A and B are shown apart, each in its own frame.
Chain A
Amino acid sequence: MTTLALIKQHLIDPEICIRCNTCEESCPVDAISHDANNYVVDVTKCQFCLACVPPCPTGAIDNWRQVTIPYTLEEQFSWTDLPKQQELANGGPEAFEDEAESLIAEAHDGTGGKPVAPYTASRPSVNLYNRDKPAIATVRGNYRLTAEDAENDIHHIILDFGDQAFPVLEGQSIGIVPPGVNETGEPNHIRLYSIASPRHGERPNHNNLALTLKREASGICSNYMCGLKKGDKVEVTGPFGATFLMPNDPMANIVMICTGTGAAPFRGFTEWKRRIMPNAPGRLVLFFGARRPEELPYFGPLQSVPDSLLTKFFAYSRVPGQPKTYVQDLMRRESALLSDLVGSKATHVYICGLKGMEQGVDAAFDDICRGAGINWAKLRKDMRETGRYHVETY
């Protein structure tokens, strides 16, 4: 299964450029060259370091197009105008299967409008497998993430797809078909879980993925999953989700706000960035809420992620002797950072966790923005419409 990756291509507007040669001089990797007609950027060399952008006197340098097939140097040399951004199939159908579709739609409801994928996100594959024709995954591991005495029982489960094609992107979900029927005799409902690993596998270049899954007291599916042993087979549908995806833009700042197992997609985001473009200039910022450190999934591993890759803020609401702190409290405390970030068109906000958390987060953003003279409602709408504001709550 191949999907054409969307690439953000750096281009120079020949109509505005004055051919002063400043960009060519300032490019540290010689990605910029010129002929008698135009200055051009070699997509195979440009590393998005942006050294050419501030020195450009005209702003011609600051142009970007999302493409599946990059413009060649020859094409760029021949231009008198910059080509328009091509129509991209962004925000296509998230999932075709009714059951999964309604679950996804419900999860994305908090976005407050039609969700749009980040412009630079890769094209996701959706709905390759359904209840009638599920993928059969093998459990490769099932670990409890939270302390034995913790109230929450959260598991890290690794599923392997063997030789079945199961292409995924960070932020997508899969459906689990629990065996059996419910009390009315219908098959048990499919449950969706966010993928917690990056696109090329929990273990790089293996056809596997990870889930972060909390055991619910009366949850048929979660109890089934948490009880699985290595080697067990699971019926899987999906993948699902075409908007809550990671931007491919190395300059994109990603603000991730989550509670509990809402951390799953962000683990995927962080891992992908760590593995593929650890030095990209875009920032990753995480606000993570839990009752106590012992109940925060991935608490240990997260401590070893360097701040240069991921800026982390942890909010605990049940640590004895300490005031209750929620993610929105930390957001307000970090208002300088956040107002700075949301002021940039390169910033994407993701909220993932329990239904209702988006309201507290929203109020915090509203306060932060007001303090900075920004109209949050307007900004949020703009961000949503440009694929930079995403909510997935359940």
Chain B
Amino acid sequence: MDTINVDYSTQIPNNVNLASDRTVLRALEGWHANYLAWWRDMGPEGFQDAKVYLRTAVSVDPQGWAKFGYVKMPDYRWGILLAPQEEGRKVNFGQHLGESAFQDVPGEYRAMLRRLIVIQGDTEPASVEQQRHLGKTAPSLYDLRNLFQVNVEEGRHLWAMVYLLHKYFGRDGREEAEELLRRRSGNAETPRMLGAFNEETPDWLSFFMFTFFTDRDGKMQLESLAQSGFDPLSRTCRFMLTEEAHHMFVGETGVGRTIQRTCEAMKAAGIEDPHDVARVRALGVIDLPLIQKKLNMHYPLTLDLFGAEISTNSANYYNAGLKGRFQETKIEDDHRLTSATYPVLKFIGGKIVKEDVPALTALNMRLRDDYTEDCAKGVERWNRIIDKEGVKFRLELPHVAFNRQIGEFRDINATPKGVLMSDAEWAKVREDYLPSREDLAFLDTLMKAEFEPGRFAGWIAPPKVGIDNKTGDFEYVQIAA
């Protein structure tokens, strides 16, 4: 792509009339070149010239937002697409409840709003960086394609946030947009803003867990930002949610297919005890206890992303009408939360206790509870696969006090069932609950690329349905010679 003379009306599909907005256009032109440099530098390693069967959004209507075709990733058309404006939309919560939605940034909330957008924006390129090495061990072209679809869409989400920064925050916004390209996941000097986004994604099981758990946090955050009284942010996030769904699909079905394959292999080999790890691993599949350990790692890491249980920041966001609750408009209450309370788990006097606190300060907790409920349903669907195969094993979400780094339980040790223990006890049992070095080494032996169309690595089952209804042997990625 010619980065100097980009035709923004075609190369950057948009419904914000970019071509006529000279100021924003100039700002984006400058940023675009840096973005592409970042993508080349930190995007998927080794596949920049591969032709990938990708879905591109060219407009927000159902017909326009899922155009499939082969694309080289650097040529992907990262669009700026906002959900259609709703006539007469109001602020639906907080102290501005009932007022017309903000079409511009209210002066008093400028810093707050910018921070919200920057935090959201920072996660988008971070996950691309975290996942950049995975291509070379993809279990199939189908999975490789899904990885890249996730990556380009995270890239598009960055575009979406950067557009807001450029359009509504002037020079500050432009600087923040540059910073989004400067920080690097896991870098000691310039790390990404949130912890989970500085962790490695060392293998495909981690990738699937990440897209199941961490992208689901993304969904919760986007959903509560979609409630925003700042209309451009709301519209942006509403459209991003449709893409986020694909990422969770990759996670849920990725883990599900792994479970499926393990159970099938166990049955074929006549292994009934899922804890007979050595025999199961000898089949070249991932034992269910290890899948549970990976789950135990990713779930708490993502819970940390919701921040402290009690937060005045989130109360301020809510009061200001900038960030609502999950599905705010479907909740039946006063939408001001001036007198309501919400139960929060706390660590008091050496015990985990439930305490009612002002609902306004417990918004992080509430969103996290909604998140947990959503996760639990997905885990149940995994259990259904195990049941169906007749294997006796259940995956479970660990207790919220387990393995936390942020919030009430950051300084304590607890088992996945929530039983408290000393540091010494924890050290002894840690590897019963979290992947050990041996576990990871075993996973490493399975991470071998399978690039033959229609073939899948031995540890994962093929999907039930192809992308875009393609048949099993479809060449989802044409890897350049």
Contacts and interface: CB of A to CB of B under 8 A. Distances in A.
A52 interface: yes
A26 B242 contact: yes
A204 interface: no
Contact of B66 (A15, A19, A54): A54
A279 to B, nearest CB: 15
Contacts of A80: 384
Contacts of B248: 18, 20, 57
B133 interface: no
Nearest to A22: B245
B250 to A, nearest CB: 8
A143 B93 CA distance: 70
B65 interface: yes
A80 B380 CA distance: 12
Contacts of B469: 59, 62
B62 A57 contact: no
A22 B66 CA distance: 13
A57 B248 CA distance: 9
A18 B62 contact: no
A359 interface: no
A22 B465 contact: no
Contacts of A25: 241-242
A283 to B, nearest CB: 15
Contact of B62 (A19, A21, A54, A62): A54
A16 B465 contact: yes
A299 B62 CA distance: 38
Nearest to B146: A57
B20 interface: no
B465 A18 contact: no
B464 A16 contact: yes
A25 B384 CA distance: 26
Interface in B438-481: 464-467, 469
Contact of A57 (B246, B374, B464): B246
Interface of B is mostly: helix
B252 A22 contact: no
B378 interface: yes
Nearest to A345: B469
A15 B467 CA distance: 16
Given A50-B62, A54-B66, A20 B384 contact: no
Nearest to B373: A36
A57 B377 contact: no
Contact of A55 (B66, B219, B252): B66
Interface residues of B, number: 24
Interface string B254-268: 000000000000000
B253 interface: yes
B187 interface: no
A51 B466 CA distance: 20
Q: Of residues B65, B245, B381, B464, which shows the largest number of chain A Cβ atoms within 10 Å of its Cβ?
A: B245
A18 B252 CA distance: 7
A374 interface: no
Nearest to A28: B62
A58 interface: yes
A26 B63 CA distance: 11
A54 B63 contact: yes
A57 B378 CA distance: 15
A53 interface: yes
Nearest to B250: A57
Contacts of A55: 62, 65-66, 242, 245
Interface in B177-194: none
A277 to B, nearest CB: 19
Nearest to A37: B377
Contacts of A26: 62, 242
A19 B378 CA distance: 9
B8 interface: no
B225 to A, nearest CB: 15
Contacts of A20: 219, 244-245, 248-249
B107 to A, nearest CB: 32
A52 B62 contact: yes
A22 B464 contact: no
Interface string A40-73: 0000000000111111011110100000000000
A58 B467 CA distance: 8
Contacts of A58: 249, 253, 465
A346 B241 CA distance: 30
B242 A18 contact: no
A167 B243 CA distance: 49
Contacts of A15: 464
Nearest to B62: A51
Contacts of B378: 18-19
A184 to B, nearest CB: 59
Given A18-B378, A36-B377, A59 B384 contact: no
A58 B55 CA distance: 13
Contact of B253 (A18, A22, A36): A18
A296 B384 CA distance: 62
A100 B96 CA distance: 77
Contacts of A52: 62
A54 B246 CA distance: 11
17 contacts: A16-B464, A18-B245, A18-B381, A19-B378, A20-B245, A36-B377, A52-B62, A53-B62, A54-B63, A54-B65, A54-B66, A55-B66, A57-B245, A58-B249, A58-B253, A58-B465, A59-B469
Interface of B: 62-63, 65-66, 219, 241-242, 244-246, 248-249, 252-253, 374, 377-378, 381, 384, 464-467, 469
Given A20-B249, A54-B63, A57-B245, 16 more contacts: A18-B248, A18-B381, A19-B374, A19-B377, A22-B241, A22-B242, A25-B242, A26-B242, A51-B62, A55-B66, A55-B242, A57-B246, A57-B248, A57-B249, A58-B249, A80-B384
| CB-based closest 3 A-B pairs | A20-B245, A54-B66, A57-B246
